[in-house]
Amino acid sequence: MRPEVLSTMSAIHIARAGGPEVLQGTTWPMPQPAPGELLVRVEFAGVNRHDCNQRAAARHSNPRLPANIPGLEVAGEVIACGEGVSGFAPGDFVCALADGGGYAQACIVDAALAFAWPRANARAGAALPEALFTSWYNLVDLARLRPGETVLIHGGTSGVGIVATQLAAKLGARAWTTCGTDAKCAISREFGASRTFNYRSSDFAASLQAAAADGINVILDLSGLRYFNLNLKLAAERGRIVYLSSAGAPGPVDGTAFMARQVWTTSSRLRPLPRAHKARLAADMAEAAWLDLGAIRLLIDSEFPLAEAAGAHQRMESGEHAGKIVLAVGHDGADAVIHHTTT
């Protein structure tokens, strides 16, 4: 069953706002690539927290999709190219950022947001794009992390945390992370964190402040705003703090900490970035030989068949995962739920 010879495809769509059970199988016409786009036969699709939020609210954010199909990243084979595409041809294997539509046998992606990727490592390819673009956007484009600096990543074993830790090391910076268990701290160190802090330990804030006496240059906070004041106390003079979520109660701003070291604070969301900005991020990554995408290791929490996407969402919303959850779509033998592997 190769979708390129079919006029329809199977997909999972959001039937209505609700829990994981509203993710339902459906059949839709095979999409066609517009100029600059690729049609990809999806082998694996990545699952993101965004997908759960999209499902809960039934937000249909890409009007070009035939239905409300989630999925922001895929790995698979190019089966058709839109006009004007250069650098890719049918038969190439890629991983790419998608604007929804990943939970399907075929997905349209912007050729400017795709990278050549080894077919043998397909599953990791579906776990990479969102974490890679997010890590690069935040550490390089926004926070301008420099060699010799220290970055603290709150959420070290999240999909983004795992890649951001490695990106920081490649940049010549020191990566410290916070994680919710000692086991996750150990995983984070395996991925290159030089220091880790268990945020459920009783001396969490005190031990971080003691360790950060010289000041932390960049803080990437994947956990929300709950550490707003703590982060101000940890930051170095002219430090940069980037928040990826508004979860948690920040409480009143600590004015003394806010004024103390002239720290820059911002929020960041990859998805609403203009297409041209995302394309520039991809071009910058492609030019950075030191990045060596193939050498980035991914932590795969678990793999679910496409038809069991609801189980993937349950796992995501349990908060117990470490690393990425992926959906096996066109992969032979993708019929078992697999947990905790590293690729």
- Smallest separation, CB 239 to a copy of itself (Å): 10
Handedness of CA 145, 146, 147, 152 (dihedral sign): negative
Q: By CB under 8 A, is residue 245 in contact with a copy of itself? A: yes
Paired tokens of 22? 């509203």
Contact 150, 174 (CB under 8 A): yes
Q: By CB under 8 A, is residue 246 in contact with a copy of itself? A: yes
Q: By CB under 8 A, is residue 24 in contact with a copy of itself? A: no
Distance between CA atoms of residues 50 and 302, nearest Å: 17
Q: By CB under 8 A, is residue 243 in contact with a copy of itself? A: yes
Name the pairing type of β-strands 73-81 and 93-97. antiparallel
- Give 121 or 268: the residue with its C-beta nearer to a copy of itself: 268
Q: By CB under 8 A, is residue 228 in contact with a copy of itself? A: yes
Which H/E stretch holds residue 283? Answer: helix 275-287
Paired tokens of 40? 């990809």
- Give 255 or 294: the residue with its C-beta nearer to a copy of itself: 255
- Give 115 or 228: the residue with its C-beta nearer to a copy of itself: 228
- Smallest separation, CB 261 to a copy of itself (Å): 8
- Give 130 or 301: the residue with its C-beta nearer to a copy of itself: 130
Q: By CB under 8 A, is residue 251 in contact with a copy of itself? A: yes
Distance between CA atoms of residues 148 and 152, nearest Å: 13
- Smallest separation, CB 57 to a copy of itself (Å): 14
Name the pairing type of β-strands 106-110 and 114-116. unpaired
For 151, 235, 242, 262, 299, the CA distances from 231, given in Å and listed in that order, are 12, 6, 10, 13, 27
Q: By CB under 8 A, is residue 204 in contact with a copy of itself? A: no
The 3-state DSSP class for residue 157 equals: coil
In the list 250, 288, 310, 343, the residue contacting a copy of itself (rule: CB under 8 A) is 250
Residue type, 206: A
Name the pairing type of β-strands 150-154 and 114-116. unpaired
Q: By CB under 8 A, is residue 207 in contact with a copy of itself? A: no
Q: By CB under 8 A, is residue 214 in contact with a copy of itself? A: no
- Smallest separation, CB 234 to a copy of itself (Å): 15
Q: By CB under 8 A, is residue 269 in contact with a copy of itself? A: yes
Q: By CB under 8 A, is residue 56 in contact with a copy of itself? A: no
Cβ neighbours of residue 68 under 8 Å, at least 6 residues apart?
13, 14, 54, 58, 59, 60, 100
Name the pairing type of β-strands 324-328 and 23-29. unpaired
In the list 32, 61, 266, 342, the residue contacting a copy of itself (rule: CB under 8 A) is 266
Q: By CB under 8 A, is residue 227 in contact with a copy of itself? A: no
What does the CA dihedral 114, 116, 119, 121 come to, rounded to 10 degrees? Answer: -80
User: Considering only 17-25, 188-196, 207-215, 256-264, which stretch makes contact with a copy of itself by CB under 8 A?
Assistant: 256-264
- Smallest separation, CB 246 to a copy of itself (Å): 3
Q: By CB under 8 A, is residue 128 in contact with a copy of itself? A: no
Q: By CB under 8 A, is residue 82 in contact with a copy of itself? A: no
Q: By CB under 8 A, is residue 215 in contact with a copy of itself? A: no
| Residues of this chain that bind a copy of itself (CB under 8 A) | 224-225, 228, 243, 245-253, 255-256, 258-260, 262-269
